Amino acid sequence: MPSHPRHSRSLARRLRSLRKGAAGRAAIVDRKPVGPHVRKARVAERRDAILAAALEEFSQRGFESARLDDVARRAGIAKGTIYLYFRDKESLFQELVRAMLTPIVGTIEALGAAELPVSLLADQIVDLFVREVYETRRRDVIRLMIAEGPRFPKLAEFYYREVLSRIIDAVRRLLARAAARGEAPPRLVDFPQIVAAPGLVAIIWSGLFEKFEPLDVRAMMKTHIDLLFATRRDA
């Protein structure tokens, strides 16, 4: 027997109500709170995206011409989001330097404290520089610092404090122990910059002259180490 239209309309309303209720419960399930580990991972991922975008903008435009609007656009976020992570463009640049170079500085400090022959330690530092700096985007950070440091003294001071002073101190301690063992010229202890000089030459050369005359950076730096220590090593 055919159902009464009124009963059909009532059933349709109940079905719609049930579907809405089910959809609402599903939505509630989907909106369950995100755990702290997930939130932390998302924050770190967004921060890394901002730093990666900043590296591109600073490398292409320089510190002065780089704009936070362009950093945000490249990172795929609103400009205001940057300020949740970094106070201003200077603090963003500083954190980029810290994030990219601090791990390398820590490794050099550990090598500087090791009780090993100076020639072996120097070879390890050369390999570290070529593999983890020269052949990576860290080279761009150092090149950017060389170019922008004279115009922005606060950035140069930050870079010296966070990077250079720590490397110089580690190398000086290494050289002092080597000189005490007769493995290094005593006067070299006063000028640890001499040990690091080929690294700067390599970075400057790669930006200006690499296309005219490619440079074998590893071979150049190891030749430099031989010139500094080979005579005493062979003695």
What phi and psi, each to the nearest 5 degrees, are found at residue 181?
Answer: -90, 0
CA atoms within 13 A on the CB side of 78: 4
pLDDT for residue 235 = 46
Kindly give the confidence (pLDDT) of every residue in the chain, 235 residues in length, as a single tens digit, with 9 standing for 90 and above: 444 545 444 544 543 443 444 444 444 444 556 677 778 888 999 999 999 999 999 999 999 999 999 999 999 999 999 999 999 999 999 999 999 999 999 999 999 899 999 989 999 999 999 999 999 999 999 999 999 999 999 999 999 999 999 999 999 999 999 999 999 999 999 999 999 999 999 999 999 999 999 999 999 999 999 999 875 544 4
User: Which is it for the CA torsion 94, 112, 223, 218, positive or negative?
Assistant: negative
Smallest CA-to-CA distance from 66 within 78, 81, 51, 80 is with: 51
What phi and psi, each to the nearest 5 degrees, are found at residue 77?
Answer: -130, 170
CA–CA dist 224, 219 (Å, integer): 9
CA–CA dist 137, 100 (Å, integer): 9
Smallest CA-to-CA distance from 61 within 89, 80, 82 is with: 89
CA–CA dist 215, 209 (Å, integer): 9
Size (the chain), residues? 235
CA–CA dist 23, 1 (Å, integer): 33
Smallest CA-to-CA distance from 85 within 145, 75, 136 is with: 75
Is 66:54 a contact under the CB 8 Å cutoff?
A: yes
Q: Domains of the chain: which residue ranges?
A: 5-32, 88-234
Domain 88-234, second-level architecture: Orthogonal Bundle (1.10)
Is 217:204 a contact under the CB 8 Å cutoff?
A: no
pLDDT for residue 40 = 84
pLDDT for residue 214 = 96
Residues in contact with 79: Cβ distance below 8 Å, sequence separation at least 6, in sequence order? 68, 69, 72
The overall pTM is greater than 0.85: no
Smallest CA-to-CA distance from 63 within 180, 178, 149, 161 is with: 149
